[in-house]
A and B are shown apart, each in its own frame.
Chain A
Amino acid sequence: MNDLSRRRILFGGAALGAGALLTACTSNDPGENTQINTDTDTDTNPNAAPGTKVIIGFSAPAADHGWVAAITSNAKAQAAAFTDVEFRSVEAGADAAAQRAALATLIAQKPNVIVLLPHDGKELNSAGLEAMKAGIPVVNLDRAFPDQGAYRLQIKGDNFGMGLAAGAYIGDQLKAKGVANPIIGEIPGIDSLELTQERTRGFNESLATYGFKVANRRPAEFTADTGQRAATELLQALPKLDALWNHDDDQGIGVLAAINQAGRKEFFMVGGAGSKVAIAAIAADNSVLKATVTYSPSMASSAISLARLIGQGKGMSDLVELQVPKEITLASETITKANAAQYAKLGF
């Protein structure tokens, strides 16, 4: 028995050591890629002048997607760009319950402002209310709290507008080409999320104004391998295709791979979210990807900037009012070859 347990410990230790060693052998640094505002010129932007110190507490879900990872890195980088901001972030974990626990810790630390990207707006609504009651203004990022009392500022993207923009681009292009009854495909992300439903709604409404509709819709899961799977199925179901809207550029890597593997190029594709890879592909014009509609994680940088203003009691310099607005919905912008160069630095 003594021999066996000693062997077990040695073996277990060796396995753990080997694992640690192997991990050290992975060097994988593609360099920093953040979308922040570094304008410190106080003539153009009087708010850039350093003011009272603001402690910003930050919580976002544990990233499993490039977009969420970009949110966190943008927030960190933007906070670092300000000299009067102290950034405290808590790991939010894998689901809403874990995030509630993390938030309770954050509230106890009494920051000046909390910036929060909830796992789900409805599930963390009560946490937002609690923080506001404790006297800490909450900046609700992207996934909206339904209760207006749960946030001081709600800054989010426009999912419906994304679909609208994608539909408008596809509709315009097809009308210009004079296609009579175009066959349009759609590859959304995770269907059970409200934002996917919003995007599809916008897309359908926009297409309806041209008299078009979606012929086949195969959902993926925001990952490249599921994107490849969904695209392959879609291409099999539609032997001839005129246009395709893929909701997310990260899963778009798989979608483009599938299109390549099937050898199809009679149609054009519109992406979503605005990743660096996608914008580069649009500028190079060497694939079916011709445009993308943005949903940029730069909203995290903007949220930090506005949180700082809220903490210092300042307003946005372009507006007449003295305080930061209550709700800001960022527009979904269409990136094509014509303006790709401008947006290149905003790709995540």
Chain B
Amino acid sequence: MTDQSTMPAQTPPADPAPAAKSAARGSWWKSDGAEPVRRNIGLVGVLVILVIIGVITRPELYGDATWVKNNVFTILQQASAIGVVTVGMTFVIIGGGIDLSVGAIIAIAGVWSTTLATQSYGTVGMIFTAIVVGVVVGLINGALISYGRLVPFIATLAMMVAARGLAAQISGKQTQVSTNSTINGIATTKIAGIPLLVIILGLVVIAGWILLNRTTFGRRTVAVGGNPEAARLAGINVRLQTVLLYALSGLCCGIAAIMLTSQATSAQAAMANLYELDAIAAAIIGGTLLSGGRGTIVGALFGVLVFSTITNLFAINNLSTEVQNMVKGGIIVAAVLLQQFRYRSLTQLLGRKPTS
């Protein structure tokens, strides 16, 4: 196989039945193009292992089918807000940037939408405010980075601090309780037995996948992230693309703010603490390169699910959060190491001489 890097955005989503590609399986499966698929199957494998560990340690819980169904929905619901944020973060990282302010954007959007003034405008007012605030802050981020020529790390770091400060100012450092029953109901509503939060997550993931893989916006994103100079010479408006990417991240944060406000029936300046780290870690585990140009939405979703399942596993076994955090750190390191050393077969791994 030649080391030709095909655009990872063109490969089909994780297909748990690779037998469907039996004709070209031998050559395609081992190619670079199939790397995201291999990775996603690897992540599914990790999820299966985690579930098996859960079954072994708490068989009496897993013996009850209703409990298992509730547990699956709980894991998905807990992953929903961070999952939406991760979709936006994946776009930004693929585009060659980074967004450290996602937690702060959620906080400012959440706080702004739960002020007494905004709550008086009802459900529509609150949702509108959260989304508009998210997009506007994202636009400011994008403008600072592409037109102000600030390094993304610095610009979003500054925004992280400033946005939380503004949120604290607006909320007077108090927890703002949401008295709107429709918003609070988002966390309890089920449509056809599936929680609404999970449906929102699903819709955002599908929309993100379509945007990345089936639109020119997605192609431009990968191009800008892979080689910004070549993209510019090819006629892509790199600056505008960057602004739009950060606005997209802000939009995802606005949606996540509504979801989180609904779950906690309140918002405060300290909400969504360290969400940026969780989102970045999930995107990395999912196969997104921190340097940009490669990444999949499905991988990012699996990354979020892996973290959510680990948290659930630790909770039902009453293990301390300290060990949990160390395990999470270990998984991130393992995921990145695997990304760096891509082996075609086990024999190559064993016979590999250090060359790089």
Contacts and interface: CB of A to CB of B under 8 A. Distances in A.
Contacts, number: 128
B67 to A, nearest CB: 6
Contact of A257 (B64, B173, B265, B311): B265
A226 interface: yes
Given A11-B147, A26-B117, A217-B318, A224 B268 contact: yes
Given A8-B148, A215-B318, A223-B268, A65 B74 contact: no
25 contacts: A11-B147, A23-B169, A26-B112, A26-B117, A28-B117, A28-B170, A28-B176, A63-B168, A69-B173, A69-B174, A217-B318, A219-B321, A221-B270, A222-B270, A224-B266, A225-B263, A229-B78, A232-B77, A233-B311, A233-B315, A236-B312, A239-B64, A253-B175, A253-B264, A258-B263
Contact of B318 (A68, A226, A237): A237
A18 B74 CA distance: 40
Given A224-B264, A257-B184, A257-B265, A26 B170 contact: yes
A226 B118 CA distance: 24
Contacts of B263: 225, 228, 254, 257-258, 261
Contacts of B112: 26
A297 to B, nearest CB: 12
B269 interface: yes
| Size bracket of the B interface | 35 or more
B260 interface: yes
B18 to A, nearest CB: 33
A261 B188 contact: yes
Given A8-B148, A65-B270, A254-B266, A225 B187 contact: no
Contacts of A221: 270, 273
Interface of A: 7-8, 11-12, 15, 18-19, 22-23, 25-30, 62-66, 68-69, 191, 215-219, 221-229, 232-234, 236-237, 239, 250, 253-254, 256-258, 260-261, 277
Given A234-B315, A236-B316, A28 B264 contact: no
Contacts of A15: 140, 143
B177 interface: yes
A65 B173 contact: yes
B175 A28 contact: no
Contacts of A12: 143, 148
Interface in B298-330: 311-312, 315-318, 321
Given A223-B270, A224-B175, 12 more contacts: A15-B140, A28-B115, A28-B117, A28-B176, A63-B168, A221-B273, A232-B78, A237-B318, A239-B64, A253-B177, A254-B264, A257-B187
Contacts of B170: 23, 26, 28
B200 to A, nearest CB: 15
Contact of B260 (A225, A232, A250): A225
A239 B184 contact: no
A153 B113 CA distance: 43
B71 A236 contact: yes
Nearest to B311: A233
Contacts of B116: 27-30
A173 to B, nearest CB: 23
Given A254-B264, A257-B264, A11 B270 contact: no
B166 interface: yes
Nearest to A16: B140
A234 B272 CA distance: 20
